[in-house]
Structure formats: C-alpha cells, structure tokens
C-alpha cells in the first residue's frame, strides 16, 4: 500500500517553490494566504515535482488505495475541525461577526468529517486493507477568521479530490456510490464556506477535478509529520 503521508512529507520539502505557485493556481491565491497555509515554514530547494506528479497521477493500486487516499484527506479535515473548535468558542465566532448558527454548522461539519473517517476506516478494514492513521498537522491559522478561511480551502480541495478520484472506483459500484455520497457533502460544505468567506458558493458550472498531485500540492504543506514516528515501514 502506498503511504501518502510519507509521500507528502518527503515531497513537500523538495517542492516548495512549485507548490506555492500551484497552490496559488488552485485556490486563487488570496484565500490560502489569508488562511495561513501559505505561511507554512517550508524548506526551499526547488526540485522536479513533475516526476512525482506523474507517479502520483498513475492509477491507484486498487480500491483500498483510493479509499486510503480519501481517508488521508478526511483525517486532515476531521483533525482540523476538532482542534479548531476545541480552541474557538461560539463567542469567538460572534467576536468576528459570525453567527451562533455558523458555529453550530461548523460543529456539524466536524461531525460529518469524523463520521467519514470512521466509515472509511471501517470499509478499508472490511476490505482487508490497513487504514492510514492521522498525521501531525499545522494548519497555520491564528484566529477565527483564518480558521474559517482554511476550512474553505480544505473543503474545496476535498471536493476536487473526490471529483478527480471517483473514476478509480468505476469497477466497484458500491464503493463508487459510497464515495459520491461523501463527495456531495464535501461540496455542500464548500458551498457554505465559500459563502461564509464572502465568495460565490458555486463559482463554476462544473467542479474542477483535482489529481492526487494537485491535492498533494494543496494539502501536503499542512502535514508536518507522520504520527507516530516512522521508521518501521509499516502502513501509516
């Protein structure tokens, strides 16, 4: 099984330069900067991202591989909301002009992401696979405003990731349908978070599918290390 977290961490160090510009392309630049992700402290030795991208763009090694890709992102999202909502209260939200309803909706999104994690772990296990674990993250937000901005980025990237990866489940109707039922909910989150950030909830008639390489470029910088310490080569 491919280890996405290790891939991510290894690549991020080499690919900072291109990652930054790609992220700009993906997100439109401003939001990620506002969200603090661009403030990630990254080493800066430019390297050939292309080779890695091609490798990542290849077909997944079976449905478990696809599901672990999804789980990698869901871990990231779930951790983001759990941590952020532990840190911020409804009062903190109202302090920046966000309603108590929006705080409730964040709690709901958190619950969705946790459910996605639990479900994917269960499905991967039932398929005889080894679910990837959560990693250590640094989401780079410093206050409610940047937290909400990062949330927007994560949900839009997540939607694009599912849109791009669903095709790799075409041979398994049940898993494809299951993935799409998550996909739609990520899109709902993204729509709401766009709106909350003062942007158009549905910026185009068609969603932009993201390749694993593009997702890596956008989300990879948020992953700062595997957890627990690696070295065993065991599936993470």
Query: Which residue pairs, CB below 8 angstroms and at least 24 apart, start in 48-54?
Result: 49/11, 49/14, 49/15, 49/18, 49/19, 49/213, 49/217, 52/7, 52/11, 52/15, 52/213, 53/211, 53/213, 54/213
Is 75 one of the binding residues for other proteins (CB under 8 A)? no
Q: Residue 136 in 3-state DSSP?
A: strand
Instruction: Work out the burial of residue 90: count CB atoms within 10 Å of its CB; fewer than 13 is exposed, 13-18 middle, 19 or more buried.
Output: middle
From the list 169, 176, 212, the residue with the least C-alpha distance to 62 is 169
Tokens (6 digits) for 7:
């891939």
Instruction: Work out the burial of residue 169: count CB atoms within 10 Å of its CB; fewer than 13 is exposed, 13-18 middle, 19 or more buried.
Output: buried
Direct distance between the N- and C-terminal alpha carbons of the chain, in angstroms, rounded to an integer:
9
Tokens (6 digits) for 69:
């890709």
Pick between residue 72 and residue 156 the one whose CB is nearest to other proteins.
156
Total residues contacting other proteins by CB under 8 A comes to 43
Is 213 one of the binding residues for other proteins (CB under 8 A)? no
Pick between residue 119 and residue 133 the one whose CB is nearest to other proteins.
119
Pick between residue 204 and residue 229 the one whose CB is nearest to other proteins.
204
- In the complex, the smallest distance separating the C-beta of residue 116 from other proteins, rounded to whole angstroms, is 6
Pick between residue 44 and residue 61 the one whose CB is nearest to other proteins.
61
Pick between residue 9 and residue 213 the one whose CB is nearest to other proteins.
213
- In the complex, the smallest distance separating the C-beta of residue 108 from other proteins, rounded to whole angstroms, is 7
Tokens (6 digits) for 84:
């952020």
180-209: contacts with other proteins (CB under 8 A): 180-192, 195, 200-202, 204-209
Site string for other proteins, 95-134 (x = CB under 8 A): ----------x--xx-xx--xx--x---------------
The phi, psi pair for 223, rounded to 5°, reads -95, 115
- In the complex, the smallest distance separating the C-beta of residue 57 from other proteins, rounded to whole angstroms, is 14
Question: Where do contacts with other proteins occur on this chain (CB under 8 A)?
Answer: 105, 108-109, 111-112, 115-116, 119, 159, 162-164, 166-167, 170, 173-174, 176-178, 180-192, 195, 200-202, 204-209
């Amino acid at each position: 099984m491919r280890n996405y977290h290790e891939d991510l961490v290894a690549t991020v160090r080499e690919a900072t330069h291109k990652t930054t510009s790609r992220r700009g392309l993906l997100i439109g630049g401003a939001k990620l900067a506002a969200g603090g992700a661009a403030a990630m402290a990254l080493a800066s030795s430019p390297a050939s991202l292309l080779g890695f991208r091609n490798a990542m763009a290849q077909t997944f090694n079976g449905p478990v591989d696809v599901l672990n890709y999804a789980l990698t992102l869901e871990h990231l999202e779930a951790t983001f909301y759990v941590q952020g909502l532990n840190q911020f209260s409804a009062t903190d939200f109202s302090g920046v002009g966000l309603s108590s309803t929006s705080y409730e909706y964040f709690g709901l999104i958190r619950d969705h992401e946790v459910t996605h994690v639990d479900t994917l772990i269960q499905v991967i296990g039932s398929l005889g696979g080894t679910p990837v674990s959560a990693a250590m993250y640094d989401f780079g937000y410093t206050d409610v405003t940047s937290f909400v901005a990062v949330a927007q980025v994560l949900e839009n990237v997540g939607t694009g990731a599912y849109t791009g990866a669903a095709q790799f489940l075409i041979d398994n109707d049940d898993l494809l349908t299951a993935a799409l039922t998550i996909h739609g909910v990520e899109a709902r989150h993204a729509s709401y978070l766009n709106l909350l950030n003062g942007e158009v909830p549905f910026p185009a008639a068609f969603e932009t599918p993201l390749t694993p390489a593009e997702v890596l470029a956008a989300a990879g910088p948020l992953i700062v290390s595997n957890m627990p310490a690696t070295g065993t080569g065991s599936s993470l």
